[in-house]
Chains A and B, each alone.
Chain A
Amino acid sequence: MSSNQAQSSLFPENLRKRKRFGQIIYFLLLSCVLIGIVSLLILLVRILFDGIDWLSWHFLTNFPSRHPEIAGMKSAIFGTIWTIALTGSFTVPIGIGAAIYLEEYSPKSWFTQIIEINISNLAGVPSIVYGLLGLALFVQWMSIGRSVLAGALTLALLVLPIVILAAREAIRAVPDSYRQASYALGSTKWQTQKYVVLPSAMPSILTGVILALSRAIGEAAPIIAISALVYLTFIPTNPLSRFTVMPIQIFNWVSRPQDEFRGLAAAGIIILLLILLGMNSFAIYLRNRYQKQSEE
Chain B
Amino acid sequence: MKKNKDITTRSSVYKRSASSKIEGKAIKWILLACALLSVATTVGIVVSLVVQGWNFFMEVSLWEFLTGTRWSPILKPRAHGVLPLVGGTMLVSIIAILFAAPVGLGAAIYLSEYAADRVRRIVKPVLEILAGVPTIVYGYFALSFVTPSLQKVIPNMIVFNALSAGLVMGIMIMPMISTLSEDAMMSVPRSLRNGAYALGATRLEVASRVVVPAALSGIISSFILAVSRAIGETMLVTIAAGATPRLTANPLESIQTMTAYIVQLSLGEAAFGSLEYNTIFAVGLLLFFITLIMNLIGSLVVNKWRQKYE
Contacts and interface: CB of A to CB of B under 8 A. Distances in A.
Contacts of B225: 124
A269 interface: yes
Contacts of A35: 103, 107, 171, 174
B143 A221 contact: no
Contact of A121 (B135, B229, B296): B296
B27 A190 contact: yes
B123 A33 contact: yes
B34 A122 contact: no
Nearest to A211: B132
A21 B201 CA distance: 13
Interface in B233-255: 233-235, 238-239
B73 interface: no
Interface of B, helix, strand, loop or mixed by DSSP: helix
Interface stretch (B58-66, B188-196, B286-294): B286-294
A255 B245 CA distance: 18
Interface residues on A, range: 35 or more
Interface string B97-130: 0000011111101110011000000010011011
Interface string B209-250: 000000000000000010011011111001100000000000
Contacts of A33: 106-107, 110-111, 115, 123
Given A32-B110, A254-B239, A43 B133 contact: yes
Interface stretch (A200-208, A232-240, A272-280): A272-280
Interface string B43-62: 01100110110000000000
Interface residues of B, number: 91
B175 interface: yes
Contact of B30 (A97, A117, A125): A97
A125 B288 contact: yes
Contact of A132 (B49, B104, B204, B231): B49
B110 A29 contact: yes
Given A32-B106, A133-B44, A97 B136 contact: no
Interface stretch (A60-68, A81-89, A100-108, A175-183): A100-108
Nearest to B172: A39
A265 B130 contact: no
B102 A133 contact: no
A157 interface: yes
Contact of A32 (B103, B133, B263): B103
B141 interface: yes
Nearest to B266: A225
A220 B134 contact: yes
Contact of A224 (B23, B266, B288): B266
Contact of B291 (A106, A125, A254): A125
Given A122-B38, A137-B44, A161-B38, A29 B134 contact: no
Nearest to B144: A262
A230 B238 CA distance: 14
B292 A221 contact: no
Contacts of B178: 36
Contact of A129 (B229, B287, B296): B287
Interface of B: 11, 14, 20, 23-24, 27-28, 30-39, 41-42, 44-45, 48-49, 51-52, 102-107, 109-111, 114-115, 123, 126-127, 129-130, 132-141, 143-145, 171, 174-175, 178, 202-205, 225, 228-229, 231-235, 238-239, 259, 262-263, 266-269, 272, 280-281, 284, 287-288, 291-292, 295-296, 298-299
Interface of A: 18-19, 21-22, 25-26, 28-33, 35-37, 39-40, 42-43, 46-47, 50, 93-98, 100-102, 105-106, 114-115, 117-122, 124-133, 135-137, 140-141, 157, 160-161, 164, 186, 188-190, 214-215, 217-221, 224-225, 228, 230, 247, 250-251, 254-255, 262, 265-266, 269, 272-273, 276, 280
Given A128-B263, A136-B49, A225-B280, 7 more contacts: A29-B106, A30-B114, A132-B48, A132-B262, A136-B48, A228-B268, A266-B140
